Every structure is written in C-alpha cells, then in structure tokens.
Amino acid sequence: MVSVLRSPRKRRRLAWLLGAATVVVALTLIGLAVDEDPVPDSAVETSTTAAIPVARPIRLTAAMRREVDATIERFVRTAVVRRNPGSAWALAGPGLRAGSTERDWRRGDLPAQPYPGRSLERTDWHVVYAQPDRVAIDVSLVPKQRSGAAYAVYNAEVIPVGRGAARHWLIDSWAPAATLGAAAPADQPDADPPVAAPAPSPHEQGKLSAAWFLLPASLVLGLVLLLAGAAARAALRRRRAERLYRQLADR
C-alpha cells in the first residue's frame, strides 16, 4: 500500500476509484431516502388552468349514523332479500333508480343482487368517506352459522334528503364487491370464516432491500480506513527516520 502512495500514477488511479465509489454510495443513499417515503398516487395533483373544487369531508354524528343504519337495514330486508322489493323504491336515490321503474322493482327486477333472507344473521357497515352530499360505505351481510350462505360485501353510497327532522337517507348506488366464501356447514360448526388476503401495496412491489446497498458502502468505508491506516503508518516511519537522522547528526 505504501508503494501505491509513492507512485503518482497509482495515486491518481486510486483517487479516481475512490471518487467514483463515493458518487455511487451517494446516489444509493439518495435513492434509499426517496424510496422510504413514497408519494401515494392519490396525492399527485395535476395542474390545470382552473382549480377543481373538492368537497370537504364531514364527520357523521350519532344521529346521522342511526338514520343511515335504519335506511340500510330497511333496504337489505326488502330489496336485497326480496321481501316486498317494491317498497324499497322509496329508499332508492336517482342513481339507483336510473334505467328502472317502480313496477320493475315490484317484480323483483332491480339493481341489487339478491341474498337468501333465511340465511341472513345481521348487517354490518362502515364508512369509507363522508362528504356533505354523499357518504360511501361498505356493507357486509353476515350469514347465520351452518346456513351455507356466503359472506357478501357491497359498495354503496347514501345521499341525504331534506333537513332537520325531515332529513332521511337514500341508497344512491349498490354494487357487489366481494364474496368471501360460505358459512360453516352443519358438519363443521367451528370452522372459521375465510379471510381475504390483503392486496400488496404497489410501492412494495419491485423494491430492493436496503441490505443490498450496504455492500458498496462497506467496501468504500473499508478502503477509506485502509488508506488512512497506510498514511498514518507512512507518517510514523517518516518521523522515526527523521528522529534517527537527528540523533546521528548530533554525534
């Protein structure tokens, strides 16, 4: 290593190699820093000549939740399980009524996938987002144990109509989202319901582990330490030689 430091040509080559390795490590660290906090696609804004107004989200009060719950329960018990589906026409908003008539609904021809009423245990729902003019929800139909019916999930939207005491909610859209299998049959009463596997995040696909970038950083760090050690050793030898030269000169 000392011979490398004494040669001007080899020192220049070593300097170029060290500079290139430093650039590689710097770019690697910058890539890691950018990749650790990816920007979701929903956060990317497209610049336009005119600003597009965005509805401000709201928070459902306890009274609003009770009203929405009553509408969903009535819609499921009438339209979805096909018990007097014509009465569910009054619960439908313009979006759900489009392309059909009340007479169609009375005949059972309505845009809501049927579900066996005898197998229905309960109806659950949760809010996806809430805006002043509409609330998006996911509705789950939970079957009775040993009924053999499926766990059904629907994407729905409800809209408010009226104000104050006259306010009520209408189902403006209703679409099947997922069927998570069937309830446990009679010979398997303790079977657990199937669980849908979560979809992988698009930001996790194709991402390299940070461990792959530790190797070049370790090589550069080792090279720097090796050069520093060689330089210190050469300086120590030079000092020893100078001290010995002074001792001989004094004699």
**Alpha-helical segments (H) within the chain:** 2-6, 8-36, 62-75, 94-97, 102-106, 214-250
Residues 6+ apart with CB under 8 A from 39: none
DSSP label of 187: T
Task: Label residue 160 by pLDDT band (50, 70, 90).
Answer: very high
pTM: 0.52
Instruction: With beta carbons less than 8 A apart as the criterion, state whether 157 and 135 touch.
Output: yes
User: Which of the pair, 56 or 28, is modelled with greater confidence?
Assistant: 56
Please count the other Cβ atoms lying within 10 Å of the Cβ belonging to residue 37: 7
| Strands 168-182 vs 150-161: parallel, antiparallel or unpaired | antiparallel
pLDDT given at position 238: 76
Question: Would you place residue 191 in the very low, low, confident or very high pLDDT band (cuts 50, 70, 90)?
Answer: very low
Q: Give the pLDDT score at 39.
A: 47
Average model confidence (pLDDT) for the chain? 76
**pLDDT score for 126:** 94
Residues 3-20 pLDDT 10s: 555 666 666 666 666 666
Which range of 50-64, 78-92, 152-166, 172-186 scores highest in mean pLDDT? It is 78-92
pLDDT higher than threshold 50 for residue 149: yes
Span of 7-11, 200-204, 230-234 with lowest mean pLDDT = 200-204
Residue 42 has pLDDT above 50, yes or no: no
69-78, 188-197, 239-248: which has the minimum mean pLDDT? 188-197
Looking at the domain 62-182, which fold is it? Nuclear Transport Factor 2; Chain: A, (3.10.450)
- Starting at the edge strand that comes first in sequence, how are the strands of the sheet with 134-143 ordered? 120-131, 134-143, 150-161, 168-182
Predicted confidence at residue 173, as pLDDT, reads 95
